[in-house]
Amino acid sequence: MNFYFFASPATFFRLAGAMAPMFFVLAAISGAVGLYLGLVVAPTDAQQGEVYRVIFIHVPAAWMSMFIYFVMACYGGMTLAFNTRLAAMMARALAPTGAMFTFVALWTGAFWGRPTWGAYWVWDARLTSELVLLFLYGGFIALANAFEDPRRGDRAAALLALIGVVNLPIIYFSVQWWNTLHQGSSVSFKGTSMHVTMLWGMLLMAFSFWMYAAGAALVRCRTLILDRERRTRWVRALS
């Protein structure tokens, strides 16, 4: 994707309209296969039994919550640096999906925590910083919509997103830096200690969530474009 892809809302509108269904289809297929692997094929865990299967939602959702925030912050950076409208709209489009995945990660984590740790919630470093991430998403959405001039909202929220990026390494590395209750990472670029079907199940679910997020963001962005650009000729021609 070259730079000028982001230049014209009209072009982007058409492109996004064509691409979004493809993303959703990919999401559905990989999600189905991933869930099959996770719920049916993967073996029962020696210590935790069947409960551990929530990992196939929990871990991919947590990965996505951080990844989406990072992408949102990048779009925020582009908004501030280049003052483009489209970058700001993409950031706004990503925020609700990112917030949803953060909530899912926290909720499935609580569901998993009860049988394994005996508590729905503990104030350890990783959980607390993930909760802060949820509030950062909420703050981003609230701030972006708090101004009369939407461009002001775009820029203030973009700055907030960039400031909050500091939270991502804290979430990611917290299990290494502190003695926390949350288990350390089992998956890294060097290899994994997990059973291969579990790994594949998780990766496929992560891919599925990623495709869903892309599709949802594109659809939401199209709506934002229609709203922001409603006075332009091409939008009026659509109705």
Q: Which residues bind another protein (CB under 8 A)?
A: 80, 83, 123, 128-129, 131-132, 135-136, 138-139, 142-143, 146-149, 152, 155-156, 159-160, 162-163, 170, 231
- Of 39 and 142, which CB lies nearer to another protein in the complex structure? 142
Shortest distance, position 165 Cβ to another protein, whole Å: 11
The residue among 25 and 119 lying less far from another protein, judged by its C-beta, is 119
Closest distance to another protein from the beta carbon of 148 (Å): 8
Torsion sign, CA atoms 155, 92, 30, 48: positive
Supply the minimum distance, in Å, between the C-beta of residue 143 and another protein.
6
Distance CA 144, CA 192 (A): 40
Nearer to another protein, 53 or 155 (CB): 155
* CB 48, min distance to another protein, A: 28
Q: Which amino acid is at 200?
A: W
d(CA 40, CA 38): 6
